[in-house]
Chain A
Amino acid sequence: MTYDETTLAQLTEDAAAIIARYPVKRSALLPMLHLVQSVDGFVSPDGIQFCADRLELTAAEVSAVATFYTQYKRRPNGEYQVGVCTNTLCAVMGGDRIWDELSDHVGVGHDETTEDGKITLERLECNAACDYAPVMMVNWEFFDNQTPESAKQVVDDLRAGKDVAPTRGPATVCSFKQVSRVLAGFDDGRANEDQGAGEATLAGLEAAKGQGWEASK
């Protein structure tokens, strides 16, 4: 393994915290793979060996799990994972066009990363925000109601190093490594950041208010 002493010590401490959440330690594997990505930016050979050692598995067993899930990246990932939903509903509402224009604009295709290491593009499956179609995700934050122009602007801003705010979620999008640490279950202190619940989220509530309807008590 090529982790330096400090990195290895931190990884070991974090892995112990993850393992302590479960009655059976193998359950820690998925969050630990997110943890590895938070350090290496992908599921590295070192990271696989680290998980295997901690969980008393073979590297083959860890790899078998890592390759099953699309969020685990097998090559160094861009700083920003940019996904355009091209599942049916988003695709029909404009997602296909957004993908075409964005992919042309950035110059990379599905699961490819720009040369500057900033952007990895992905055609996403449904991300459970259909009421905001067409949807784009950046490092797993919501960018709702997109157009080709808005999507390209987001990516241009990210590449220019500007802070970018999702339409729902925290004040700014964090890096791929940072978000991987959140998914490993570590608090980044941003839960109270907010961009508003969102118009579609509140649509039914507003309609009920407009009619004076409430659930009985």
Chain B
Amino acid sequence: MTELVPVLTATWGSEQSWSLDTYTKAGGYAPLKKALGMAPTDIIQSVKDSGLRGRGGAGFPTGMKWGFLPPDDGGPRYLVVNADESEPGTCKDIPTMLAAPHALVEGVAITSFAIGCNHAFIYIRGEVAHVHRRVQQAVREAYEAGHLGKDIHGSGFDLDVTVHAGAGAYICGEETALLDSLEGRRGQPRLKPPFPAVAGLYARPTVVNNVESVASVPSIIGNGVDWFTAMGTERSKGMGIFSLSGHVQRPGQYEAPLGITLRELLQLAGGIREGHELKFWTPGGSSTPMFTEDQLDTPLDYEAVGAAGSMLGTRALQIFDETTCVVRAVTRWTEFYKHESCGKCTPCREGTYWLTQILKRIEGGRGTQADIQQLLDTCDSIAGRSFCALGDGATSSIISSVKLFREEYEAHVEQGGCPFDHAASALFEYSDTPATEEAHA
């Protein structure tokens, strides 16, 4: 049995867990003081050696990302924290910032020192008011305690931190769209190269890191590289927060070494909803191809999940039992991508529109068998041909669900409607009446 390892989550149950006082009493900000006594290149090397990989979905090695910054030319360089958590199923950064915002602030300070940044930004999605209050307060407290500001703890290092609110756009989780948004523009992705490391915020060298990646840095500096690499698997080191949601007994945040399996996590979460069984699940949010019970024992690390045909993504484990109509689930995700497509590139903008039309037709019982092939053909025109990963993500659940549950799509066509009782999937009782057809505006 893989044991849970509460590191980032360890203090979440404490009294006023979000306060500087609670965080400091638990050892917080000691890693910052240690880091300020190190050479910045040594901090970068430690993070490289730790094997920490981006916790925001793509899994790119964090230390390597830092190392891509060009040599100091005397001009500004920036750290931007991606706190725009919006991928369906993903719900780890929001509780992190609510319960322990100082882990993020300390991580920002250490990372900034390591990469030579004097002004960092935390870009938080706008739809979470209390998270803004908590992070804004944590930054204020950190300034007052001398963890931010001028000449931090006598090191000569200066750092300002700006907390910034987004305004409702999933695409701003894409790092270059986030930068455009932070510059006061429509959040549309940029052509890469140049990568943000070379020309990011205000065309200056910029590191964009996810909340959990940055919040993990103090523990690595404080406890050491060996401590971190003792957790996880060969190429996926350390701990990560696994977010279980859906038809499980005890959904929630489970912090575990990378490589834990869904079977183990389900055991800790009390199993699937009473009297039901697992039908399908996403390993890393709605943009990752879905799995079934066949992958219950797949180690949830970057390599094994990839080898099994999906992606570890954000470890957003959305669990659906046998009452769930996969066509309904996929249609709704596709409507989401259509709604969130930024419109910049044609394959994604037009493709997600047509995918939605076809899926709604099938789900509503007005589809044909040829529509199923048309879906896959349309996916072919989007995946790998879009400007950014949003388009690719939109096709993942469609392609994987047709592969795994083609007969369910066919049943919608043959029966002229959905064979499932939607009420059976809900967590409260009601008698089924047709759902509204109202589209997202």
Contacts and interface: CB of A to CB of B under 8 A. Distances in A.
B243 interface: yes
Interface string B421-434: 01101111010010
Contacts of A131: 91, 243-245, 251-253
A88 B182 CA distance: 29
Contact of A182 (B90, B132, B242): B132
Given A148-B428, A185-B163, A187-B136, A70 B129 contact: no
Contacts of B136: 185, 187, 191
B13 interface: yes
B76 interface: yes
Interface stretch (B1-9, B38-46, B66-74, B147-155): B1-9
A150 B109 CA distance: 42
B438 interface: yes
Interface string B58-99: 000000000000000000100000000111111101110011
A203 B269 contact: yes
Nearest to B273: A93
Contact of A191 (B18, B93, B181, B329): B18
Interface string A88-125: 11011110110110010000011100000000000111
A111 to B, nearest CB: 5
Interface string B111-150: 0000000010000011111101110110010000000000
Contacts of A12: none
Interface residues of A, number: 89
Interface in A170-211: 170, 179, 182-185, 187-188, 190-192, 194, 197-208, 211
Given A27-B182, A182-B133, A208 B88 contact: no
Contacts of A26: 183-185
B422 A69 contact: no
A184 B333 CA distance: 30
Contacts of B243: 130-131
B340 interface: yes
Contacts of B187: 68-69
A87 B7 contact: no
A30 B18 contact: no
Contact of A71 (B5, B127, B202, B330): B127
B239 interface: yes
Given A70-B168, A125-B170, A207 B4 contact: yes
B435 interface: yes
Contacts of A24: 183, 202
B184 A28 contact: yes
Contact of B166 (A30, A127, A179): A30
Contacts of B403: none
B415 interface: no
A133 interface: yes
Choose among A134, A147, A204 the residue with the greatest number of B CB atoms under 10 Å from its CB.
Answer: A204
Interface string B158-185: 0000111111111000000000011111
Contacts of B324: 92
Given A27-B183, A70-B168, A179-B129, A200 B94 contact: no
A93 B425 contact: yes
Interface string A150-182: 000000000000000010111000000001001
Interface in B363-389: none
A23 B99 contact: no
A200 B251 CA distance: 6
Interface of A: 21-24, 26-31, 33-34, 55, 64-65, 68-72, 86-89, 91-94, 96-97, 99-100, 103, 109-111, 123-134, 137, 139-142, 145, 147-148, 166, 168-170, 179, 182-185, 187-188, 190-192, 194, 197-208, 211, 213-217
Interface of B: 3-7, 9-10, 12-13, 16-19, 76, 85-91, 93-95, 98-99, 119, 125-130, 132-134, 136-137, 140, 162-170, 181-187, 202, 223, 227, 230, 239, 241-247, 250-256, 268-269, 286, 316, 318, 320, 324, 328-330, 332-333, 336, 339-340, 342, 422-423, 425-428, 430, 433, 435-436, 438, 440-441
24 contacts: A31-B165, A87-B88, A89-B88, A94-B427, A96-B436, A125-B88, A125-B339, A125-B340, A125-B440, A126-B87, A128-B85, A128-B90, A129-B91, A131-B245, A131-B253, A145-B427, A170-B133, A179-B129, A192-B19, A194-B16, A201-B12, A201-B253, A205-B255, A208-B255
Given A24-B183, A27-B183, A97-B430, 16 more contacts: A29-B184, A65-B186, A68-B169, A70-B168, A88-B332, A92-B328, A125-B170, A126-B86, A130-B88, A184-B165, A200-B253, A203-B250, A214-B5, A215-B6, A215-B7, A217-B223
